[in-house]
Amino acid sequence: MSPKTVYLKNSILLGVAIAYSVFCRVFSLPMITDPCSDRRVPSPSHDILVYLKENFAFVLFFLLFVVLAATSFMLAYLIYHKFDRNRDAARTSVYAGILFICVAIYIIMGTNALDVFRGHIAVFDFLSSLALFFMVPAFFAYITTKHVKKWMVVTDWCFSALILLVFTLSFAQVDIHIIHWLMSFYIMAFLAVMTVFSFLNLRSMLLKKYRTKVLRVIACTLQFSSLLAAQYFYVTKGLFFFWLCFSAAMGLTAYLIFGDLVETAARQYVKTADAENYRKMAYVDALCNINNRNAFMMEQNNTFDSDSLYYVVFDVNNLKRINDMFGHSEGDVIIRRAANVIAESFRDIGKCYRIGGDEFAVIGQYKTAEEIRACLRQMRAEIDAYNGTSAAKLDIAYGYAIRDNTAINTYELFNKADKAMYRYKKRMKAQARSA
């Protein structure tokens, strides 16, 4: 089942639920109630603290699932926006988050933890039913992103059809006992499906080898036992123990699901880190940590048709003399310093590239000659400041060229800037000889 089909089906279910709730509120009709809600008559002396104390375990489960839901949504954001934009992995994490928030609502609304708000019991019952209805599609949406089998898709559609049947019968004001019977069947069917998945998951874990195998096998075994116990207590009307076993089973389910989500996020992080390392190896100069010649050639192609473009070409003077006098390590220092000075000076108006051993270039768009000269003045000031504290002197020759139209291509523009740089270099050497 495609993601679009899942989204459309669940959107229709949500729309029907909203339409049903509005219809009931407008015409003052009773809404669907959860047949397994553990409602007790609140004592006048009880307050919110007393109820929270009596239902401490369920409140903890509620907070746990809320935190897990928030974490799942955060992982989905990181996986999609930070880790290689993997839609499938992010979608899996979103479905898990929806499942967790449905479980949280079902537990806190279905137990008597909030009965202190007496005037809203009917609303709480409906929210509990609604959370139950959407818990199953969310569970199947999560499962089918990992294991797509025909029987899973058919089962999901059967549950969705049962939800629509319950809403239709409630619209028609059918006897409430029939609706409760259908909802009880829905709950038992969901617990049975969860039990089957737990068994299949346990069998799969026993055949695999990984570091957390023992913990996962124990968690899956406890989950399987809790689900069976929840079904037993539901049939025998032991609602308090039903809620306890159900909460424990879903908590163990969350542990197993969240373990998968963390592993998925970790794999995406490693994949993204590897991709970033490969990108750096391909497009970043290892010595200077700026763009390399490959990146320069790519930018040349990308800006081939730009109307307004400029190139500045740089060459470090006297590098061979520095290598001979101070050693190649000091020559590397000079090259790195030249890269830093150029990149910082042109940071706001262009990109800096190392295109050869001691050659650099800057490419920028929509700038005037005065803006370029201002950056060159800043560069010379930084060079003078560096030379005042260094034995090996940094000296950079440069030349620039501006294209106001596409009459010449980027390669011709680069050659024009390169020739201007060599003319400047000759003038500097002539001045040095005359001095």
If you write DSSP's letter for every residue of 337-378 in order, what string do you get?
Answer: HHHHHHHHHTTTT-EEEE-SSSEEEEEEES--HHHHHHHHHH
Q: Per-residue pLDDT for the chain (435 aa), expressed as one digit of tens each?
A: 566 787 788 888 888 888 877 777 777 777 777 666 654 444 444 566 666 677 788 888 889 999 999 998 988 888 777 766 667 778 888 888 999 999 998 888 777 655 555 556 667 777 788 888 888 888 888 887 776 678 888 888 888 898 889 888 888 878 888 888 888 899 999 999 989 888 888 887 777 666 667 888 888 889 999 999 999 998 888 888 888 899 999 999 888 888 888 777 777 666 666 666 666 677 888 889 899 999 999 888 888 777 788 999 999 998 888 988 889 899 999 999 999 999 999 998 899 999 988 999 999 988 888 999 999 999 999 999 999 888 888 999 999 999 877 678 888 899 999 999 999 888 887 776 665
CA pair distance 7, 312, nearest whole angstrom:
53
What residue type is 23 in one-letter code? F
What is the residue whose two structure tokens read 């959370």? Answer: 131
C-beta atoms surrounding 311 within 10 Å: 26
- What's the Cα-to-Cα distance from 94 to each of 97, 255, 273, 376, rounded to whole Å? 5, 16, 23, 51
CA pair distance 255, 249, nearest whole angstrom:
10
- Determine contact, residues 106/117, Cβ cutoff 8 Å: no
CA pair distance 257, 197, nearest whole angstrom:
12
- Dihedrals phi, psi of 407, to nearest 5 degrees: -65, -35
What residue type is 167 in one-letter code? F
pLDDT of residue 114: 59
Q: Which two tokens stand for residue 246?
A: 């159900």
DSSP lists the bridge partners of residue 396 as: 316
Q: Outline where 111-175 has alpha helix (H).
A: 121-144, 150-171
What is the residue-wise DSSP string for 264-302?
A: HHHHHHHHHHHHHHHHHHHHB-TTT-SB-HHHHHHHHHH
Dihedral of alpha carbons 5, 7, 13, 19, sign:
negative
- What's the Cα-to-Cα distance from 151 to each of 3, 158, 199, rounded to whole Å? 17, 10, 16
Q: Which two tokens stand for residue 204?
A: 């799969």
What is the residue whose two structure tokens read 């990992």? Answer: 146
- Determine contact, residues 399/419, Cβ cutoff 8 Å: yes
pTM of the complete model = 0.61
- Dihedrals phi, psi of 160, to nearest 5 degrees: -65, -40
What is the residue whose two structure tokens read 């007393």? Answer: 50
- Dihedrals phi, psi of 222, to nearest 5 degrees: -65, -35
CA-closest candidate to residue 197, choices 247, 142, 244, 242:
142
- Determine contact, residues 67/211, Cβ cutoff 8 Å: no
Q: Which two tokens stand for residue 114?
A: 């909030």
**Taking the domains of the chain in order of start, what are their residue ranges?**
3-278, 293-434
C-beta atoms surrounding 243 within 10 Å: 26
- Determine contact, residues 289/380, Cβ cutoff 8 Å: no
Class of 3-278 per CATH? mainly alpha
What is the CATH number that goes with domain 293-434?
3.30.70.270
What angle in degrees, to the nearest 10, is found between the helix axes of 3-26 and 150-171? 10
Asked whether this chain's domains 3-278 and 293-434 adopt the same fold, the reply is no
pLDDT of residue 344: 92
